[in-house]
């Protein structure tokens, strides 16, 4: 009997941080997420990054805008429910005000053994369709082979002066 393989596997936080350093990210605004626990810890400890904990995703997008206008290179770390919570701000700031908004979105409550589309969690299933409705481009981080998607999302956010999301599909290691 063959053992079932996971659809998504975690990526080492150190590898992600290395990518972010390469992109020159200097500020991280975070609403805590259980799927990115190790990444959040690594970012918090990184002396080259100022780590800002906000109370809501709405705030995080406003802070991101202020930092960007002030010449910094920020990003957001949030969870899937935060996308649903902040749609009005996504409309107003990243989209209408044309602010590059590079966001990691943890797939909270996703079972990595199950494809996203078949998840029992509505939040897991609906986050990508929600982003599609609003025209927010997104990439998946389903394992170490997807590490290049970090740069792809970052570059799209800055090329289009708008939002771009990386969907983190398994707990970071």
Partner 1 sequence: MERNEAIEILAEGRGDAVSVVTMQSVYPWHQAGQGEIFHVDASQCMGSASSIGLGLAVARPDKKVMVLDGDGSLLMQLGSLVTIAGQSPANLYHFVFANGLHQSTGNQPLPAIGQFDWVALAKGAGYADALRIEAAEDLLERLPGIFAMTGPVLIELTIEREDREPLWAGVPMAKQTALLKEQLAASS
Residues 6+ apart with CB under 8 A from 147: 11, 15, 16, 19, 141
Residue 77 interacts with partner 1 (CB under 8 A)? no
User: Binder to partner 1 among 60, 78, 83, 166 (CB under 8 A)?
Assistant: 60
d(CA 54, CA 22): 25
Instruction: Please pick, from the candidates 40, 54, 127, 167, the single residue that binds partner 1 as defined by CB under 8 A.
Output: 54
Q: Of 171, 154, 173, 172, which Cα lies nearest the Cα of 163? A: 154
State yes or no: residue 98 binds partner 1 (CB under 8 A): yes
- CA-wise closest residue to 167 among 8, 6, 4, 5: 8
Contact, 147 vs 13, CB < 8 A?
no
Binding piece for partner 1, criterion CB under 8 A, among 64-72, 77-85, 116-124, 137-145? 64-72
Interface stretch with partner 1, choices 35-43, 84-92, 128-136, 142-150 (CB under 8 A): 84-92
**10-39 binders of partner 1 (CB under 8 A):** 27
Question: Is residue 99 near partner 1 by the rule CB under 8 A?
Answer: yes
152: three-class secondary structure by DSSP: helix
Is residue 40 a contact residue for partner 1 (CB under 8 A)?
Answer: no
Residues that bind partner 1 (CB under 8 A): 27, 50, 52-56, 58-72, 74, 88-89, 91-93, 96-99
């Amino acid at each position: 009997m063959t053992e079932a393989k996971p659809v998504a596997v975690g990526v080492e936080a150190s590898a992600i941080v290395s990518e972010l350093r390469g992109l020159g990210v200097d500020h991280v605004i975070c609403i805590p997420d259980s799927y990115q626990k190790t990444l959040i810890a690594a970012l918090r400890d990184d002396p080259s990054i100022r780590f800002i904990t906000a109370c809501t995703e709405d705030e995080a997008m406003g802070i991101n805008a202020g930092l960007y206008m002030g010449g910094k290179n920020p990003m957001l770390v949030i969870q899937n429910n935060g996308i649903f919570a902040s749609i009005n701000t996504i409309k107003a700031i990243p989209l209408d005000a044309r602010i590059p908004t590079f966001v990691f979105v943890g797939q909270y409550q996703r079972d990595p053994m199950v494809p996203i589309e078949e998840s029992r969690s509505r939040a897991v299933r609906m986050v990508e369709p929600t982003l599609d409705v609003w025209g927010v481009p997104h990439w998946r981080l389903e394992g170490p082979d997807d590490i290049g998607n970090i740069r792809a999302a970052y570059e799209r956010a800055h090329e289009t002066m708008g939002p771009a999301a990386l969907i983190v599909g398994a707990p970071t290691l």
